[in-house]
Amino acid sequence: MFLVLNFVYLFILFLLVLLRRLENLQIFFFVSFMFFLPFMKNMDEIFEGIGGVHIVFDDTSRLFVLMNVLVFLGVSLKMRGKKKIRFPFVLTFITLNFLYASADLFNIYVLLELLSLETMILISSGGKVKQFWSSVKYMIFGSVGMNIYLLGVGMVYMQNGTFDLTKILRVSNVSLVLIFTGLLVRTGFFLYGMWLPSAHSSAESEISAILSGVIVKGGIFSILRILSFEPFSSITPWITKVSAISSFLAVIFAITSKSFKRMLANHTLSQLGFIMSNVETAPMYAFAHALFKSWLFILADELPSERFDEMGKRLNLFPWIFLILGSFSIIGIPGTIGYAAKSSLFKNTYNFERFFLILASIGTSVSFSKLISRRPKISGWGGIKENLHNLYFSILVIGGGVVLFEFRMKSFIQSFLLFIVGFLLHRMIGKNLKELRNPLERIEVNLFVISTLILGMILWLIS
């Protein structure tokens, strides 16, 4: 019921946007939100097509669609009056909504590729050479990743004769490796998709918010959906290990970044590792990450400069408060939504993953101490109309933190301890760090790494 209504409604609104009858995007996303609310507690919906096209709308989908609506509403509050990107913006929203309901290998492929095309238009909408170049790089990696994925899907079809995830019974190791390598490249994990920092840091702030907030979650969702079926889940330990390591490695580059947006982009790489290092808590963490990361990216516009050395010791009061709140959320201080997500993640993770996640958490607080150690200066408030998006996101971040708050002494102490250790580390070594250039960001090196990893994984699984 929801799906049918959703398609009809989205089509009508899409036509309105196309015909330029709907000037305010906020209204569009607000209506979507109101429309979506009654369906939060409905039964699961399943549609089955001929030849293996399959649509499922379950709890995970609900959480992701809610995240999608909330983030798009918040970002559209910020981008009043920007007419140029309205069309791809709305189209991305609709594509993502559809992706969160698909449960077969080919639908996921088509929607991810459609998403790549829209992302490319969104990144290059600023009209700078840098943006053109990073979107070309993005497209090369996206296409290579999806081609590798398609190779794996072809092999699965040869064995089973269907694309439907519920009907697939046997999956060979080679196709497993190919499918997940393709998805990891497309989503942008460390070692796999190193196009991510340059693409996310060079786009306009609102676009970066959408990219880091919800578009990477498209890849995350498809990985989660495929992993939730029996023949595919044998690769889960490998994915969680790769994610845990990548969450730590990416944080090193984030610590040494000299520009705010670049730092945030590197943190997206690291947070993707956090999300995927435990499959059960992944939807919750993805939800929290979407809220605070898109907010932090939007705040980049309100700083005096993007580079840390030109930013000055003192920031205006209100951007400062919002920045601190966002930083506390990503570090995981109690009372924010980040804490709720992180404590449930740590509760369910052990040994290998836990070790790297703790290192990565310390790294996160080291790199955000660059912002926290700045002091505010008294200044005007700028009016409620200008700060609407900030108020909206702060209510979501704190409100989510209060609603999902779960008091456990151990994680309470741990979160403060990790923050203090990180802050002290920043005081000791943070001042004179040189910016590390990531050698993996070159196309040739990254593709070489990807092919080596594929070969290594196949040889390891066969032996």
* Residues in touch with another protein (CB under 8 A): 51-52, 106, 109-110, 113-114, 116-117, 120-121, 124, 129-130, 132-136, 139-140, 142-144, 147, 150-151, 154, 157-158, 161, 163, 198, 202, 441-444, 447-448, 451
165, 103 Cβ separation under 8 angstroms: yes
Residue 46 in tokens:
């399943």
Q: Which of 54/289 has CB closer to another protein?
A: 54
The alpha carbon torsion through 375, 381, 386, 389 (nearest 10 deg) reads 50
Which three-class secondary structure state does DSSP give residue 455?
A: helix
Residue 212 in tokens:
């880091």
Residue 29 in tokens:
């996303």
Q: Which of 119/240 has CB closer to another protein?
A: 119
Q: Which of 208/329 has CB closer to another protein?
A: 208
Task: Supply the minimum distance, in Å, between the C-beta of residue 201 and another protein.
Answer: 9
Task: Supply the minimum distance, in Å, between the C-beta of residue 249 and another protein.
Answer: 19
Phi, psi (degrees; rounded to nearest 5) at 57? -125, 100
Q: Which of 433/443 has CB closer to another protein?
A: 443
Q: Which of 109/328 has CB closer to another protein?
A: 109
Task: Supply the minimum distance, in Å, between the C-beta of residue 106 and another protein.
Answer: 5
How far is Cα 141 from Cα 186, in angstroms, rounded to an integer? 7
Task: Supply the minimum distance, in Å, between the C-beta of residue 341 and another protein.
Answer: 31
Q: Which of 53/372 has CB closer to another protein?
A: 53
How far is Cα 261 from Cα 247, in angstroms, rounded to an integer? 18
How far is Cα 358 from Cα 274, in angstroms, rounded to an integer? 10
Q: Which of 309/444 has CB closer to another protein?
A: 444
DSSP structure class, residue 231: G
Task: Supply the minimum distance, in Å, between the C-beta of residue 456 and another protein.
Answer: 16
Task: Supply the minimum distance, in Å, between the C-beta of residue 146 and another protein.
Answer: 8
Q: Which of 152/273 has CB closer to another protein?
A: 152
Task: Supply the minimum distance, in Å, between the C-beta of residue 240 and another protein.
Answer: 27
Q: Which of 11/448 has CB closer to another protein?
A: 448
How far is Cα 132 from Cα 248, in angstroms, rounded to an integer? 30
Task: Supply the minimum distance, in Å, between the C-beta of residue 434 and another protein.
Answer: 17
DSSP structure class, residue 189: -
How far is Cα 247 from Cα 268, in angstroms, rounded to an integer? 9
Q: Which of 194/227 has CB closer to another protein?
A: 194
Q: Which of 7/133 has CB closer to another protein?
A: 133
Task: Supply the minimum distance, in Å, between the C-beta of residue 140 and another protein.
Answer: 6
Give me the sign of the Cα torsion angle 207, 141, 188, 446: negative
Burial 290-317 (b: 16+ CB within 10 A, else e): bbbbbbbbbbbebbeebebeebeeebbe
Task: Supply the minimum distance, in Å, between the C-beta of residue 222 and another protein.
Answer: 16
Q: Which residue in the block uniquely carries the two structure tokens 């945030």?
A: 264
How far is Cα 350 from Cα 357, in angstroms, rounded to an integer? 10
> Is residue 244 within a helix (H) or strand (E), and if so which, with residue range?
helix 236-255
Task: Supply the minimum distance, in Å, between the C-beta of residue 188 and another protein.
Answer: 15
404, 340 Cβ separation under 8 angstroms: yes
Exposed (0-12), middle (13-18) or buried (19+): which is 61, by Cβ within 10 Å? Answer: buried
How far is Cα 171 from Cα 157, in angstroms, rounded to an integer? 9
368, 428 Cβ separation under 8 angstroms: no
DSSP structure class, residue 19: T
